A = this chain, B = another copy of it.
Amino acid sequence: MSMDDPLSLDRQLCFPLYAAARAMTQAYAPLLSRLGLTYPQYLVLLVLWETDGETVKGMGERLYLDSGTLTPLLKRMEAQGLVRRERSAEDARSVRIYLTSEGRALRRKATSIPEAMACKLGLTLQEATRLRRDIQRLFEVLSQSHVDSSK
């Protein structure tokens, strides 16, 4: 049970990552609740504001989420009037997600969020950039490791 025990909570890399990710979501919550959004819903909008008409599959590849998560989430956003879900004409297996005018309008209200968060974090631009790069690198290593390498 010594402090340099590999099973000590304080020595884990995983735990700060886990805690920080949840704290990040909570830091966004008050900003997003004003727009009636949850954090994953905000991520969906970030994608659609860049690529309107994205498919569910494409959305999943961008956000690393599957249809089991996205389908009900998108249905809730559709019920809120933010998006429209439409079977693709070219390929009836896929479903495309389109912003409604309300969903597009929300973008203007969201423009203040990044700077509000930057302020909360109190990191310099280069600190934030370096940290993002480091975490991205960590993610890339991790996202390799849990794929079935056979076949």
The segment out of A1-9, A70-78, A89-97 that lies at the interface is A1-9
Residue of B with least CB distance to A120: B145
Instruction: Tell me if A79 counts as interface (CB < 8 A to partner B).
Output: no
Which 9 residue pairs are nearest across A and B when measured between Cβ atoms? Answer: A21-B21, A23-B142, A6-B114, A20-B139, A16-B135, A120-B145, A16-B136, A13-B132, A26-B146
Q: How many residues of A contact B (CB 8 A)?
A: 58
Cβ contacts under 8 Å, A25 to chain B: 14, 18
Interface residues of A (CB under 8 A from B): 1, 6-9, 11-30, 39, 43, 46-47, 49-50, 62-64, 107, 110-111, 113-115, 117, 120-123, 128, 131-132, 134-136, 138-139, 141-143, 145-146
18 sample A-B contacts, Cβ–Cβ < 8 Å, listed by A number: A6-B111, A7-B49, A7-B107, A7-B113, A9-B47, A13-B121, A13-B135, A14-B28, A15-B43, A16-B139, A17-B21, A18-B21, A19-B63, A19-B139, A19-B143, A23-B146, A27-B145, A123-B138
A11 and B136 CA atoms in complex are apart in Å by: 11
* Contact residue among B18, B115, B128 (Cβ-Cβ distance under 8 Å from A24): B18
A96 and B43 CA atoms in complex are apart in Å by: 39
Residue of B with least CB distance to A112: B6
